[in-house]
Amino acid sequence: MKLKNYSITRSIIIISFLLMCILTLSLIITVNRVEKQYQTLSLNMAKSYFDTIIELRKWNASHNGVYVPITEEVQPNPFLEDPLRDVETLEGIKLTKINPAYMTRLLGELAEADLDLQFHMTSLMPINPINNPDNWEREALKDFENNIGNKWETNETENGTNLRYMEPLIVEESCLECHAKQGYQIGDVRGAISINLPYGNFQRAMKSDIFRTVLIYLSFIIVMGIILIYFGRKSYFAENERKHLIHELERSNKELEHFAYVASHDLREPLRKVSAFGQLLNESLEEKINEDEKENLGFMIDGARRLQEMIDDLLSYSRLTTQAKPFQIIDLNEVINELKGNALHTEILMTGALIEVPQLLPKVYGDLIQIRQLLQNLVANGIKYQKKDVKPVITIRYIVQDSKYLKIEVEDNGIGIDEKYFEIIFIMFKRLHGRGQYEGTGLGLAICKKVVERHGGTIGMNSVVGKGSIFWFTIPLLSEK
């Protein structure tokens, strides 16, 4: 008996490898998600600055500009062509008009000084040369004309990493007072506001979160590693012990099989002598012994015969392993014809049994001797366990299961078997009837089960008491290869 070999340690190693792959992939996804979160946070902040500036510009434009006192920091806008650009109050305070563009520049200077935030207005056709775009801004402005919503990038400066964010300025009716002469119409891209936002704080916070995440994963991996090492070490020693036990069990099985074969083989000759000489004594003393002595001598001869049958079956059972033959392609139709003409010929003649094969049986791949013995036992059982005064009819057919297995069915019209015996009937020496009713050793179906299992299939039965039985077995389909 060959036991299935599997490795617990190998399974733990595979599980550990898969777990490490999953954890690594999860860590990569988590780190990427953290980076995306901080990136989104910084973009949202830049977007909020842009929206605030836009609202201030709208407020300014809704008042057609606002007047503020002229100071050293706030001088009249030389690029604003407006006759009412500069005015003087009755008190003699000189005021200058601050339009949206000028206000944006002033706010940008204030934000840079107080908030470390830089922003300015830029355009491909600026009125004030100070608003000329750099190369990146120029490309962004061209993209805005193709209906691209915003542009951003991170860049390295002397003061660290900055986030550059740009969003277009769309011409509205209030813009035309100053920019209509440049050819702009409502809905055109007038320019954009470019925002430079310090990204260092976001990076530091992001690195801190990533460090904590990696630390958590590493802690989990270390704990899992300790657990896997512990159980792996235990499984290693347990597996070595298991392999040793399997080896000893296989060796013991081989010795038992060899012993059964040798014992069965060596017992046959003495039993033949007991049976033969018992028969001779019965014939020579027929007129010299009384009926009781004849009966006792008959018991001895019958016991020797039955023991001979049991030893023959035991020898057949042990030969399934000790004298197994290589597999070959087998034509089941030829096997059935051979059984009808030779091995079962006498039983068929004596009972008038009819062996029906309604469909051409397929070819299978297996041990020819064992497949022949399997079918012989199943057909012989159908003939033997017949109802009184009823001619045995044995039907052999097949079906294909799941495109992988061939199911062979051997149906009879015999006495049938109660459902509660379906499982135990394949156990060695298990008999459901007394020897006075039906001959046999109880090994026939056990031999069938072992043959089927050696060929990678299963065996079973369906039966109705008084109507007959169907014994079936499966065997892998013969592939084209």
**How confident is the model over 29-45, as pLDDT tens digits?**
999 999 999 999 999 99
Q: Give me the pLDDT at residue 147, please.
A: 83
Residues 18 and 32: their CA atoms lie apart, in Å, by 21
Are residues 245 and 267 in contact, defined by beta-carbon separation less than 8 angstroms?
Answer: no
Q: Are strands 468-476 and 459-464 parallel, antiparallel or unpaired?
A: antiparallel
What are the residue boundaries of the structural domains of the chain, listed by start?
A: 116-198, 324-476
> Beta strands 363-366 and 151-157: pairing type?
unpaired
Provide the pLDDT for residue 1: 42
Kindly report the backbone phi and psi dihedral angles of residue 145, in degrees, each rounded to the nearest multiple of 5, phi listed first.
-70, -15
For the segment(s) 116-198, the CATH number from 3.40.50.720, 2.40.160.20, 3.30.450.290, 3.30.70.260 is 3.30.450.290
Task: Bin 15: left if φ > 0, else alpha if -120 < ψ < 50, else beta.
Answer: alpha
Give me the amino acid identity at 288: K
Per-residue pLDDT of the chain (481 residues; tens, 9 = 90+): 444 444 666 777 788 788 888 888 998 999 999 999 999 999 999 999 999 999 998 899 888 889 999 998 899 998 888 888 999 998 999 999 999 888 999 998 888 888 888 898 898 888 888 889 999 989 998 888 888 888 999 888 887 888 999 999 888 777 766 666 666 778 778 889 999 988 888 888 989 999 999 999 888 888 888 887 887 777 777 777 878 888 887 777 676 666 666 665 666 667 677 777 777 777 777 667 777 776 777 777 766 666 666 666 666 666 666 566 788 999 999 999 999 888 888 888 888 999 999 999 989 998 888 898 899 989 998 888 888 888 999 999 999 988 788 999 999 998 888 888 777 788 766 656 555 555 656 677 888 898 899 888 999 989 888 888 999 999 988 765 4
Distance CA 236, CA 199 (A): 53
Kindly report the pTM of this predicted structure. Answer: 0.48
Q: What is the pLDDT of residue 357?
A: 92
- Who contacts 432 (Cβ-Cβ below 8 Å, separation ≥6)? 417, 421, 425
* 347, 382 contact by CB (below 8 A): no
| Cβ burial, residue 287 (10 Å; 0-12/13-18/19+) | exposed
Annotate 259-270 with b (16+ C-beta within 10 A) or e (fewer). ebbeebeebeee
Tell me which residue of 138, 189, 169, 206 sits closest to 58, measured CA to CA: 169
> Which of 451, 445, 440 lies closest to 475 in space, CA to CA?
451
251 vs 456: CA distance, rounded Å: 22
What is the rounded distance in angstroms from the CA atom of residue 56 to the CA atom of residue 418? 95
Say what the pLDDT of residue 334 is.
93
pLDDT of residue 438: 57
Q: Do the Cβ atoms of 392 and 344 come closer than 8 Å?
A: no
Instruction: Using CB atoms within 10 Å of the CB of residue 35, give its burial: 0 to 12 exposed, 13 to 18 middle, 19+ buried.
Output: middle
Dihedral sign for Cα atoms in the order 124, 127, 129, 131 = negative
pLDDT reported for residue 180: 64
- What is the pLDDT at residue 177? 66
User: What pLDDT score does 155 carry?
Assistant: 86
Whole-angstrom distance, CA of residue 101 vs CA of residue 191: 11
- Burial level of 161, CB count in 10 A (0-12/13-18/19+)? middle
Neighbours of 427 (CB within 10 A): 12
Contact 473, 458 (CB under 8 A): yes
To which residue do tokens 């007038």 refer?
190
CATH 3.30.565.10 fits 324-476, yes or no: yes
- Residue partners of 417: CB distance under 8 A and separation at least 6: 425, 432, 461, 463, 465, 469
Given CA atoms 267, 268, 269, 272 in this order, what sign does their dihedral have?
positive
For residue 10, which of 243, 333, 186 has the smallest C-alpha distance? 243
